[in-house]
Structure 1
C-alpha cells in the first residue's frame, strides 16, 4: 500500500498538482552503554519507536520485553508481533554489547569510563489531502559517545564515515553490496509501509492537533539588577513544530539576543518551548510574544502586562543554608557525576536520535541481519555493525559489527 501511494504522490507532484503535505515520521532509537550505571530510568540497553515524535513501543535491558506505549498499538498489533519484537530486541541487545566492546578496543578506551553507542533509523514522508504520500528521506546513522560515527547515504547507497575510526566499518559494510541495497529498500519502501500502516491504526490519536497555551512573565535579572528577564512560554502543543517570536513594539527581537530552550517534551506527549530576553526595567514600550502553530488559524499573541516577580529577601540563617547545601551535595555528588557524563555524551537530554525501525522483519521471510552477518563475517571481531531487527535485516542495520 505505502509504495503505491508514494509513487502516485511523486507523479502528482511532478505534474504540479499536489498540495502542501503534512510531514510524518517513523524512527527507532537504540542506546547501549558499556556498563550499568545503577541510576533510575537509565539502563544498559534501551530501544524505542517514535511515530510523529510519540513513543509507540519500548524495551530495556532490565525488563527485556518489548511493550506498546500507545493503546492503539496494543489493540491493533497481534500478540506474536510483541513476542517476535521482544526476541528481536534481545538479539540487538547482544549485538550492541559486542560492538560497544569492539569500538572501545579500537579507540583504546577504558571500561572504567562511560561509553555509549547509539543508532537511529527510519523515514519521513509528506501526506497530501488526497491520501497520497511522498517519500522525503530515510535515515540510518550511528553515533559513539555522542559524536557522529557512521551514516548511510541513501542516494548513493554507500556508508559515510565522518571520523577515521569508522573507516574500517565503512569498508566492511560497503563490501557487501546486497546489504546496502537492502538498507535502501527498507528506508524507501518498507519503512514507509509501516509508517502509513501505523498512521492508519492510530489516526484518531495522531491526527489530533493540540494548540499551545501561551504565557509571558518577568523577574529581575540575576546578571544585571537594572534589567528584567522576560520569558515567553508555550506549552501543551502537538505536533512539535512551532515558531515563537518575542516582539518589542511589534518588531521581532533579533534571535541572537534571545535565549531559547528549544522544543521539549511534556509528560503527556505534548511539547513546550520557552524563550527569554533581558530588557531594561523602566523601558516604557510594549512587549509581546507571538506563536505560530499548525493547530492555529492565525498566530497567537499575548502581551506582557508590565508586572514582574520580586524575589523575597533571604531570611534563612546562613549556617542553615550551608548545612543543607553540604548534605544535598553529599547525597547528589555521585548521581550528578554520572549524569554529567551522560549529558556530555548525549545519552540523556536532547539525545542524538529520534527513532528506530518498524517491525517488518517479524513478518518478512527475508533473512535476518544476524544471518546475513554470519555469512559475511567469520569471527565476532570481524563482524559488521548491524544486527537482526524488528523490521528486516536492512532496517536494523544489515551489516555487522564495527
Structure 2
C-alpha cells in the first residue's frame, strides 16, 4: 500500500500520520499571516513541500511560483498548472476558513492554517482512500474521508468548533475533491513511484552495537542498544536481560532519529547498578 499526503508545513501532533511500511508522499501546504498587532515574519505566507516517503522531491512558495523537483527528469511527474490550480483553491479555502474560525482562535499573533490530505495505493495498484484533515490555532478541526465514492465527515469536538461553522463550503469541496484532487493525488503518487521507486524501496541493514558506559553520578552504568545506518525507518529494537526483553518502563530512548546520509538510527538505554551481574544482549528486526 502506498500513500500520498497533501498537507500543511506545520503539522500539529494530532494531524501527523503514523509511519507505515509503504511509501508515503507528502504535499505540504501552509498559510500563515500575522494579525493586525503582529509584525510580518520572514516566512512566506504560503508554501508547499512535496515529500515521497521521507525524501523531499519538490518545494515552492508564494515567492517562488514555479514548482521545482530535485531532479530535472521529474518535471513530468505533475503538471505545474495542476499545482497552481490546487494551490489557488486551497489558498482561497484557507482565507474563507480563517474568517469562519477567527472567533475561535486562541492565537492573537501569528495565524497558521493547515491541511493534511492523504491518498493511498492499495495492492495491485488499486486506488485507496483519501483523507483530509484541517487545523487552525494548533487544533485539528475536522476530517473528511473519501473511499469507494463515499464521504465520511467528522468534526473534532475538542477544538471547540461546531459543525455548523465548518460545513458551509463542504458540499462544494466534496465535488472538487472527488473530480479533481483525488485523481491528481493518485496519478502523482504513481508517477513519483515510477521515478523514485528504487530509492524508496532500497534496503540498508542496520549496524548494531551494545554499549556499556560508566555513570559517574549513580556509580553504576548505562547499557545501550544502538542500531544505526538503516533504511527504511521501520525497525524493532529490543534490549534483553538474561534472554528476556527488558520492560518498556525501564527503558529510555527509542526515538527514531535521522542521519545526515538519509539513513536512520535508534538507541534504547537502561541504567544498571554496579552490582548488576545480568547478561545483556541486543536484538533487531528490520
When normalised by structure 1's length, the TM-score is 0.54
Q: 2:135 maps to which residue?
A: 143
Could you say which structure has the higher strand fraction? 2
| Stretches of 4+ aligned residues off by more than 4 angstroms | 184-190
Q: 2:27 maps to which residue?
A: 28
1:87 and 2:84 are equivalent in the alignment? yes
How does 1:289-368 map onto structure 2 within 5 Å? 289-293=282-286
CA distance in 2, matches of 1:247, 1:185: 53
CA distance in 2, matches of 1:215, 1:187: 46
Q: 2:168 maps to which residue?
A: 172
CA distance in 2, matches of 1:286, 1:43: 55
Q: 2:56 maps to which residue?
A: 55
Q: Is the CA contact 2:31–2:91 (under 8 Å) kept in the aligned structure 1?
A: no
- Ranges in structure 1 where 5+ consecutive residues have no aligned partner: 3-21, 294-402
User: How far off its partner does 1:282 sit?
Assistant: 3.4
Distance 1:228 1:85, change over 3 A: farther
User: How far off its partner does 1:157 sit?
Assistant: 0.4
Q: Is the CA contact 1:33–1:100 (under 8 Å) kept in the aligned structure 2?
A: no
Q: 1:363 maps to which residue?
A: none
Aligned-residue CA RMSD (Å): 3.4
Q: Is the CA contact 2:105–2:136 (under 8 Å) kept in the aligned structure 1?
A: no
User: How far off its partner does 1:287 sit?
Assistant: 1.6
Distance 1:265 1:66, change over 3 A: farther
Q: 1:357 maps to which residue?
A: none
Could you say which structure has the higher helix fraction? 1
When normalised by structure 2's length, the TM-score is 0.73
CA distance in 1, matches of 2:182, 2:98: 31
Q: 2:10 maps to which residue?
A: none
CA distance in 2, matches of 1:140, 1:49: 16
Q: Which has the higher contact order (CA 8 A, sep 6+)?
A: 1
How does 1:260-279 map onto structure 2 within 5 Å? 260-279=253-272
User: How far off its partner does 1:262 sit?
Assistant: 2.8
Q: Is the CA contact 1:47–1:58 (under 8 Å) kept in the aligned structure 2?
A: yes
User: How far off its partner does 1:55 sit?
Assistant: 1.7
User: How far off its partner does 1:238 sit?
Assistant: 2.0
Q: How big is each residue's C-alpha offset from its partner over 1:265-285, in whole Å with a ceiling of 9 and x where there is no partner?
A: 334333332223222233122
Distance 1:125 1:214, change over 3 A: farther
Q: 1:77 maps to which residue?
A: 75
- Which of these two proteins has the greater Rg computed from alpha carbons? 1
